[in-house]
Amino acid sequence: MLLILFVGCDQEEPTRTPGPTSLPASPTVNVQPPTLTDPEAASQFAINYTPGAVPTVIGGATITPTPEPTLQSLEMQFIADDGLIIEGSLYAAPARPAPLVLLLHMVGSNKEAWSSTAKQLQTAGFSVLAIDLRGHGLTGGDPDWVKAQQDVIMVLRQASTLSGVQVDHISVIGASIGANLGINACAALGTCRSVVLISAGLSYLSITSEQAVLQYGAKPLLLIASRDDPPSGADSVKLNGIATGDHRLILNSGSAHGTAILDSDPTLVPTIIGWLKEH
């Protein structure tokens, strides 16, 4: 790396008379990043040494300072086919490349509803992308579920190109209409590794799921619902009955719906994580 320092660029350089001897600048050969090569001279700064940080020279010793704490999530944007900006939050895995999980929220909700789940998945070694569907959260615009279906397909395609993502290990977790959107997108693309449907329905706002489950085929499918939550309790049983691959149905007591099920049963997120790791 060649560092060039410009000083006083906004001032006119004074006229200088060359001396009797003018030597050419020495060439820079085999540039190497500075390292902490003299522990004795720099021992007082060694506690601040972090490989890969920006080097600094202090008291004659070259050290690298400890960087600021890493952000738990990074805001991202995806451009829909009609120009609408889809807002998202990426929770990058501690080690990459890593599997990616796309999270899709319910009607009237937003990506922040997944915050706790996303952090648990991240800690378990997954990169996680939560998005605000159109007409929700920071994405704005008007709700349009036909267009939202295309948005999810677009996001899945673009997410597969992100650095550090295992392109053959992308999964989707959706809640309520997010579940229907997720299974349809994975059925259309054929590239999802597994899908988790929370409170799925046979039809939510004209987004159906039965044909999508059949088209999804023999890939892993986990369904979670509350027994007394109409229609998703009965609909999840039916979807589980037509699934052709490795599938499992978890029916909880009560009537909690969508992400509220995860809040009511703290064992579910670890169960989902175990499922994703197995599949």
2-50 residue pLDDT tens: 333 333 333 333 344 444 344 444 443 343 333 333 333 333 323 333 3
Q: What is the mean pLDDT of the chain?
A: 82
Instruction: List Cα–Cα distances, 131 to 37, 48, 182, 212, 239, in angstroms.
Output: 46, 37, 12, 21, 25
Domain range annotation of the chain = 34-68, 74-278
Check residue 205 and report its DSSP letter. Answer: T
Tokens of 41: 């001279």
Give the model confidence (pLDDT) of 92-144 as tens digits.
Answer: 999 999 999 999 999 999 999 999 999 999 999 999 999 999 999 999 999 99
pLDDT at site 16: 41
Cα–Cα distance measured from residue 173 to residue 182, given in angstroms and rounded to the nearest whole number? 7
- pTM recorded for the entire structure: 0.76
Tell me which of 3.40.50.300, 2.30.130.10, 3.40.50.10490, 3.40.50.1820 is the CATH number of domain 74-278.
3.40.50.1820
Whether 236 and 209 have beta carbons less than 8 Å apart is answered as no
Q: What are phi and psi of 116, to 5 degrees?
A: -65, -45
Amino acid of residue 158:
Q
CA pair distance 1, 23, nearest whole angstrom: 24
